[in-house]
Amino acid sequence: MTPFAYCHRTVLILVVTTLTACTITRVSDYDATTDELVSTLHKKTSGFFHTIPIKGEAECGYASHQAFYDGLRVEIDALALRNLARANNSLTIAQIQGLQQSIGAIEQLHQLGCFSEAQIADLKNSLDIHYGAILKLEIAKQRESD
């Protein structure tokens, strides 16, 4: 090999190494289980807001629905744990932590009193947006090459 060819090859390897370093993934791979768990949680909370008795109706208080919050918390904790174990997943982790905080805030609101129709509409909209954001990002992780 001539010195020129040797030099040429070295430069090419350097370029390739740099390019390879640039293609390191900064967003985790798609996870079908996360997709499924988030969809299931969304259905549960949506169903809850569609059926919960409003202020003034029987059994609208927190005590009648504590089991729902307990169950939901367990499922979101499991979702959070699974996502903490995924590499390059800081965005989804932050979204799920936000969801945990929001469910906690909804529970606190319920402890303060029964929900009015307007409150239910607001809470449902907010959670729809939140779940939708998590799902949109997760689905986008199914990269074009997949």
Partner 1 sequence: MSLDASQLAAQMLAAFKQSLSDKWPDTKEYASSEAKKLAENFVMIEKLKVTGQITNEQARLHHEIQRNASRAVLLTVEGLGLLAVEQALMSAFSVLQDAVNGALGFDLL
Name, in order, each residue with C-beta under 8 angstroms of 107's C-beta and a sequence gap of 6 or more. Answer: 62, 69
Is residue 91 at the binding interface for partner 1, with CB under 8 A as the rule?
yes
Is residue 9 at the binding interface for partner 1, with CB under 8 A as the rule?
yes
* Among 2, 3, 4, 23, interactor with partner 1 by CB under 8 A: 23
Is residue 130 at the binding interface for partner 1, with CB under 8 A as the rule?
yes
* Among 7, 74, 84, 118, interactor with partner 1 by CB under 8 A: 118
CB 114 within 8 A of CB 55: yes
How many helices and strands (H and E) does the chain possess?
Answer: 5, 0
Cα dihedral value 135, 139, 140, 142, nearest 10: 160
Locate tokens 């945990």: which residue? Answer: 100
Is residue 14 at the binding interface for partner 1, with CB under 8 A as the rule?
no
The SS3 call for residue 81 is: helix
Q: What is the DSSP letter of 65?
A: G
With contacts defined by CB under 8 A, name the span among 44-52, 68-76, 79-87, 88-96 that binds partner 1. 88-96
Total residues belonging to the chain: 146
State in angstroms the smallest separation of the CB of 23 from partner 1.
5
Contact positions vs partner 1 (CB under 8 A): 8-9, 12-13, 15-16, 19-20, 22-23, 25-27, 91-92, 94-95, 98-99, 101-102, 105-106, 108-109, 112-113, 116, 118-119, 121-123, 125-127, 129-130, 132-134, 136-137, 140-141, 143-145
